[in-house]
Amino acid sequence: MNIREIAKKAGVSVATVSRVLNHPDAVAKNTKDKIEKIIAEEEYTPNWFARSLNFNRTGSIGLMIPHILNPVYMEMAKGVEDVAYQKGYITFMCNAENDREKEKAYLAQMIRRRVDGIVMISSTLEKEDYDRVKEKNIPVVLVGGNKSNPGFSCVRIDCEAAAKEATKHMIDIGYRKVAMFCSKTDTFDNRDKIVGYREAFKEAGVKIREEYIKRIDDTVEDGYLAAKKMVEKKGGPHAIFATSDNMAFGVMDAVKDQGLRIPEDVAVIGFDNIKLSNLVEPKLSTVDVPLHKMGVYGARLLLDIIEDGNSETRDIILQTKLKIRKSCGHKERIGEMF
């Protein structure tokens, strides 16, 4: 059923039918009612491509996420989807699966499919990859720590400050041997986390042990393995700062498997504050990141560009908050520990 058939049934021209759909006020009431009745009867919906072809707009946005099974990204993704849905856009979910080639392939797809804009979550693409998108004039917003800064608007957190605060907390309690596990992925966020960690030690005047800084995959498994290796030796760390809750879960598992207690023998602190961090035993201390909000802001920024042409580049930094739970000690316990 196409617009011509509807027009024929109604005994009018296609132009009139099209007007009913797009500019109802420009059509006489009688005619409009008649046409609308037929449209409803036939359950006619205008062909989306044909419309897109005219409008040069698809009403869809691309959403690139590093991994679909990681709750951190999914919470951000939900923020994006919430806003997009509410504004009538549909979201192409692109699961890059931590694979740069797949991410590039999906980006090319987005361009081919003429999405109205793209939200990139924690992307690892290079400047050159973005240049393609720029040439095509497709608006892009970055959420979370990208690798290079290609001059797009960005929503993020201050990872350096957050990591510094968390590390400082551990030092303040009295821990001196604090290991840090950070994702291998080369993004600003990860680099900043390490900078913050170092900064905290520097300010406290405590010497850093380089062998305590480990770059690993951001997975439960790698957290487990790295922690196990570190903890099973004598004289291991007093505390482990895993810069994602995901890794922290693995760390906790490894520590427990070694027959050590958390936090009495080894304290653990995470990063992200995903729902589960409050569910494991003991409850995980972590850095609260406003994941959902980051997605929401990212999508809003994008739709601002798409709909209002508001192309000024903005850099939005949201607040993090240190959440102290059971898995690391409290300040009051200084002295009783070492």
Q: Closer to DNA by CB, 12 or 142: give it.
A: 12
CB of 115 to DNA, least distance (A): 16
Note whether 249 binds a copy of itself by CB under 8 A. yes
Q: How far apart are CA 175 and CA 163, in angstroms?
A: 15
CA 13 to chain centroid, in Å, comes to 49
Restricted to residues 33-72, the positions that interact with a copy of itself (CB under 8 A) are: 43, 45, 47-50, 52-53, 58, 63, 68-69, 71
Note whether 26 binds a copy of itself by CB under 8 A. no
Q: Which structure tokens are listed for 312? A: 């000024």
Say which entry of DNA, a copy of itself, none residue 19 contacts (CB below 5 to 8 A, set by partner kind).
Answer: DNA
CB of 39 to DNA, least distance (A): 10
Given the structure tokens 């709909």, which residue do they identify? Answer: 307
Q: How far apart are CA 134 and CA 131, in angstroms?
A: 5
Q: Closer to DNA by CB, 17 or 280: give it.
A: 17
The residues that touch DNA, with contacts defined as CB under 7 A, are 1-4, 11-19, 21-23, 26-28, 30-32, 44, 46-47, 50-51, 53-56
Query: Which residue stretches of the chain are H helix?
Result: 3-10, 14-22, 29-42, 48-55, 71-86, 100-112, 127-135, 159-173, 188-204, 220-231, 245-257, 291-308
Note whether 134 binds a copy of itself by CB under 8 A. no
Q: How far apart are CA 67 and CA 58, in angstroms?
A: 25
**Cβ-based burial of 30 (10 A; exposed 0-12, middle 13-18, buried ≥19):** exposed
Note whether 91 binds a copy of itself by CB under 8 A. yes
- Going from the C-alpha of 126 to that of each of 64, 151, 202, 318, the distances in angstroms are 14, 12, 32, 24
- The stretch among 102-110, 122-130, 170-178, 180-188 that binds a copy of itself (CB under 8 A) is 102-110
Say which entry of a copy of itself, DNA, none residue 74 contacts (CB below 5 to 8 A, set by partner kind).
Answer: a copy of itself
User: Exactly one of 109, 149, 311, 313 binds a copy of itself (CB under 8 A); which one?
Assistant: 109
Note whether 75 binds a copy of itself by CB under 8 A. yes
Say which entry of a copy of itself, DNA, none residue 275 contacts (CB below 5 to 8 A, set by partner kind).
Answer: a copy of itself
Count of residues in the chain: 338
Residue 167 has a CB neighbour count (10 Å cut-off) of 26
CB of 21 to a copy of itself, least distance (A): 12
Q: Closer to a copy of itself by CB, 86 or 313: give it.
A: 86
Q: Closer to DNA by CB, 16 or 60: give it.
A: 16
CB of 167 to a copy of itself, least distance (A): 25
Say which entry of a copy of itself, DNA, none residue 253 contacts (CB below 5 to 8 A, set by partner kind).
Answer: a copy of itself
Contact between 337 and 173 under an 8 Å Cβ cutoff? The reply is yes
Nearest to 107 by CA among 72, 69, 150, 71: 150
Say which entry of a copy of itself, DNA, none residue 90 contacts (CB below 5 to 8 A, set by partner kind).
Answer: a copy of itself
Judging by DSSP bridges, how do beta strands 286-288 and 321-323 pair with one another? antiparallel
**C-alpha count within 13 angstroms, C-beta hemisphere, residue 185:** 26
Contacts of 26 (CB under 8 A, 6+ apart): 19
Say which entry of a copy of itself, DNA, none residue 122 contacts (CB below 5 to 8 A, set by partner kind).
Answer: none
Note whether 275 binds a copy of itself by CB under 8 A. yes
Binding site for a copy of itself (CB under 8 A): 43, 45, 47-50, 52-53, 58, 63, 68-69, 71, 74-75, 77-78, 81, 85, 90-95, 102, 106, 109, 111-114, 132, 135, 220, 249, 253, 256, 275-276, 279-281
